[in-house]
A and B are shown apart, each in its own frame.
Chain A
Amino acid sequence: MEAKELSMEMKEYIAAAGAETLDWCMQCGLCSALCPWRLVSGQISEAFSIRKMQRLGQLGLEGFDTEEVLFACTTCGMCQVNCPRQVKIIDNVRSMRSTTVEAGFVPTNLRSIVGSLHANGNPWSGAREDRLNWQKGLEVPLFTPETEYFLFVCCTSCYDPRSQKIARSIVEVLKKAGVSFGVIGAEESCCGETVRKIGDEELFKKLARGNIELFKSKGVRKIITTSPHCLYTFKNEYPELGGEFEVVHYTELLAGLLREGKFNLNGSLGKKVAYHDPCYLGRHNGIFDAPRTLLGALPEAEIIELSRSRERSLCCAGGGGRLWAEVPRGERFGELRVLDAEAKGADILATACPYCMIMLEADCLALDKQEKVKIMEISELLNACS
Chain B
Amino acid sequence: MGVYICTGCDIGESLDLEALSKVAASEYKVPVCKTHPFLCSAEGAGLIKQDIAGEGVNAIVIAACSPRVNTDVFDFPDVFVERVNLREQVVWCHPANDEDTQMLAEDSLRMGIVKAQQAELPVPFQAEDISKTILVVGGGLAGLTAAAETAKAGYRAVLVEKKETLGGWAAGLKNVVGLQPPYTELEDLNLADRVREVEENEKITVYKNAQIEKIAGAPGMFDVQIRQNDNLYSERVGAIVLAAGAVAYDATKLENLGFGKYTNVITGEQLEEMAGQGAIKRPSDGKPVESVAFILCAGSRDKEHLPYCSAICCTESLKQALYVKQQNPEASVYIFYKDMRATGNYEFLYQRVQKEGALFFRGDVLGVAEVADGQLVIAAEDVLVGEGIKTEPVDLVVLATGMVPVTAIGEKLVIKAEDDKGAQEEAPADEIIRSNILNLEYRQGPEVPPLKYGFADSHFICFPYETRRTGIYAAGSVRAPMDIPATIRDATGAALKAIQCVELTAAGSAVHPRVWDLSFPEFFMQRCTQCKRCTVECPFGAINEDEKFNPLPNPTRCRRCGTCMGSCPERIISFKNYSVPIIGSMLKAIEVPEEDEEKPRILVFACENDAYPALDMAGLNRLSISPWVRVIPVRCLGSMNLVWIADALSKGIDGILLLGCKHGDDYQCHFIKGSELANYRLSKISETLNRLALEADRVRMVQVSIMDYDKLPGIIEEFAGRLEEVGPNPYKGF
Compute how far the CA of A61 lies from the CA of B391 in the bound complex, rounded to whole angstroms: 11
Query: A3-B366, A26-B354, A85-B351 given. 8 additional CB < 8 A pairs?
Result: A1-B387, A4-B385, A4-B387, A4-B388, A4-B390, A6-B359, A7-B392, A23-B356
Establish whether residues B355 and A61, one from each chain, have CB atoms under 8 Å apart when the complex forms: no
Report B567 CB to chain A, min CB distance, Å: 54
Residue of B nearest to A5 (CB): B390
Chain A binding surface SS class: mixed
Compute how far the CA of A88 lies from the CA of B293 in the bound complex, rounded to whole angstroms: 27
Give A56-73 as 1s and 0s: 1 = Cβ < 8 Å from B's Cβ atoms.
101101010000000000
Given A23-B355, A23-B357, A85-B351, the answer on whether A2 and B387 have CB atoms closer than 8 Å is yes
- In the complex, which residues of chain B have a beta carbon less than 8 angstroms from the beta carbon of A63? 385
Q: Is A221 positioned at the interface, with any CB of B under 8 Å from its CB?
A: no
User: B350, B386, B392: which contacts A6 (Cβ < 8 A)?
Assistant: B392
Which residues from 349 to 366 on chain B have a C-beta closer than 8 Å to any C-beta of chain A?
Answer: 350-351, 354-360, 362, 366
- In the complex, which residues of chain A have a beta carbon less than 8 angstroms from the beta carbon of B392? 5-8
Q: How many residues on A have C-beta within 8 angstroms of the other chain's C-beta atoms?
A: 22
- In the complex, which residues of chain A have a beta carbon less than 8 angstroms from the beta carbon of B30? none
- In the complex, which residues of chain B have a beta carbon less than 8 angstroms from the beta carbon of A8? 332, 392
Establish whether residues A1 and B390, one from each chain, have CB atoms under 8 Å apart when the complex forms: no
- In the complex, which residues of chain A have a beta carbon less than 8 angstroms from the beta carbon of B356? 23
Q: Is A133 positioned at the interface, with any CB of B under 8 Å from its CB?
A: no
Give A35-78 as 1s and 0s: 1 = Cβ < 8 Å from B's Cβ atoms.
00000000000000001100110110101000000000000000
User: A5, A25, A27: which contacts B389 (Cβ < 8 A)?
Assistant: A5
- In the complex, which residues of chain A have a beta carbon less than 8 angstroms from the beta carbon of B388? 1-4
Establish whether residues B354 and A6, one from each chain, have CB atoms under 8 Å apart when the complex forms: no
- In the complex, which residues of chain A have a beta carbon less than 8 angstroms from the beta carbon of B360? 26
Spell out B's residues near A (CB within 8 Å).
332, 350-351, 354-360, 362, 366, 379, 381-382, 384-392
Residue of A nearest to B332 (CB): A8
Residue of A nearest to B383 (CB): A27
- In the complex, which residues of chain B have a beta carbon less than 8 angstroms from the beta carbon of A24? 351, 354-355
Compute how far the CA of A85 lies from the CA of B386 in the bound complex, rounded to whole angstroms: 22
23 contacts between A and B (CB under 8 A): A1-B388, A2-B388, A3-B379, A3-B388, A3-B389, A4-B387, A6-B390, A6-B391, A7-B392, A8-B392, A23-B354, A23-B356, A23-B358, A25-B354, A26-B350, A26-B351, A26-B354, A26-B360, A52-B385, A55-B382, A59-B359, A59-B382, A85-B351
- In the complex, which residues of chain A have a beta carbon less than 8 angstroms from the beta carbon of B366? 1, 3
Report A54 CB to chain B, min CB distance, Å: 9
Give A1-31 as 1s and 0s: 1 = Cβ < 8 Å from B's Cβ atoms.
1111111100000000000000111110000
Q: Which 4 pairs between the two chains have the least Cβ-Cβ distance?
A: A1-B388, A3-B388, A3-B390, A55-B384
Compute how far the CA of A2 lies from the CA of B381 in the bound complex, rounded to whole angstroms: 10
Compute how far the CA of A55 lies from the CA of B359 in the bound complex, rounded to whole angstroms: 10
Spell out A's residues near B (CB within 8 Å).
1-8, 23-27, 51-52, 55-56, 58-59, 61, 63, 85
Report B586 CB to chain A, min CB distance, Å: 60
Compute how far the CA of A27 lies from the CA of B366 in the bound complex, rounded to whole angstroms: 21
- In the complex, which residues of chain A have a beta carbon less than 8 angstroms from the beta carbon of B354? 23-26
- In the complex, which residues of chain B have a beta carbon less than 8 angstroms from the beta carbon of A51? 384
Given A1-B366, A4-B389, A5-B389, the answer on whether A52 and B384 have CB atoms closer than 8 Å is yes
Compute how far the CA of A320 lies from the CA of B362 in the bound complex, rounded to whole angstroms: 31
- In the complex, which residues of chain B have a beta carbon less than 8 angstroms from the beta carbon of A23? 354-359
Report A74 CB to chain B, min CB distance, Å: 23
- In the complex, which residues of chain B have a beta carbon less than 8 angstroms from the beta carbon of A52? 384-386
- In the complex, which residues of chain A have a beta carbon less than 8 angstroms from the beta carbon of B332? 8
Establish whether residues A58 and B359, one from each chain, have CB atoms under 8 Å apart when the complex forms: yes
Report A33 CB to chain B, min CB distance, Å: 15
Report B383 CB to chain A, min CB distance, Å: 9
Compute how far the CA of A23 lies from the CA of B355 in the bound complex, rounded to whole angstroms: 5
Report B369 CB to chain A, min CB distance, Å: 11
Establish whether residues A59 and B379, one from each chain, have CB atoms under 8 Å apart when the complex forms: no
Residue of A nearest to B357 (CB): A23
Report B605 CB to chain A, min CB distance, Å: 51
Compute how far the CA of A271 lies from the CA of B560 in the bound complex, rounded to whole angstroms: 82
Compute how far the CA of A7 lies from the CA of B358 in the bound complex, rounded to whole angstroms: 14
Given A6-B389, A61-B389, the answer on whether A27 and B355 have CB atoms closer than 8 Å is no
Establish whether residues B379 and A55, one from each chain, have CB atoms under 8 Å apart when the complex forms: no
Compute how far the CA of A7 lies from the CA of B506 in the bound complex, rounded to whole angstroms: 69
- In the complex, which residues of chain A have a beta carbon less than 8 angstroms from the beta carbon of B387? 1-4
Establish whether residues A1 and B384, one from each chain, have CB atoms under 8 Å apart when the complex forms: no
Compute how far the CA of A2 lies from the CA of B366 in the bound complex, rounded to whole angstroms: 12
Residue of B nearest to A85 (CB): B351
Residue of B nearest to A25 (CB): B354
Compute how far the CA of A27 lies from the CA of B382 in the bound complex, rounded to whole angstroms: 12
- In the complex, which residues of chain B have a beta carbon less than 8 angstroms from the beta carbon of A59? 359, 382, 385, 389
Compute how far the CA of A63 lies from the CA of B385 in the bound complex, rounded to whole angstroms: 10
Compute how far the CA of A25 lies from the CA of B359 in the bound complex, rounded to whole angstroms: 10
Establish whether residues A27 and B384, one from each chain, have CB atoms under 8 Å apart when the complex forms: yes
Establish whether residues B385 and A55, one from each chain, have CB atoms under 8 Å apart when the complex forms: yes
Interface centre among A8, A24, A52 (most CB of B within 10 A): A8
Compute how far the CA of A8 lies from the CA of B330 in the bound complex, rounded to whole angstroms: 11
Compute how far the CA of A5 lies from the CA of B350 in the bound complex, rounded to whole angstroms: 25
- In the complex, which residues of chain B have a beta carbon less than 8 angstroms from the beta carbon of A56? 385
Report B45 CB to chain A, min CB distance, Å: 58
Establish whether residues A61 and B385, one from each chain, have CB atoms under 8 Å apart when the complex forms: yes
- In the complex, which residues of chain A have a beta carbon less than 8 angstroms from the beta carbon of B362? 27
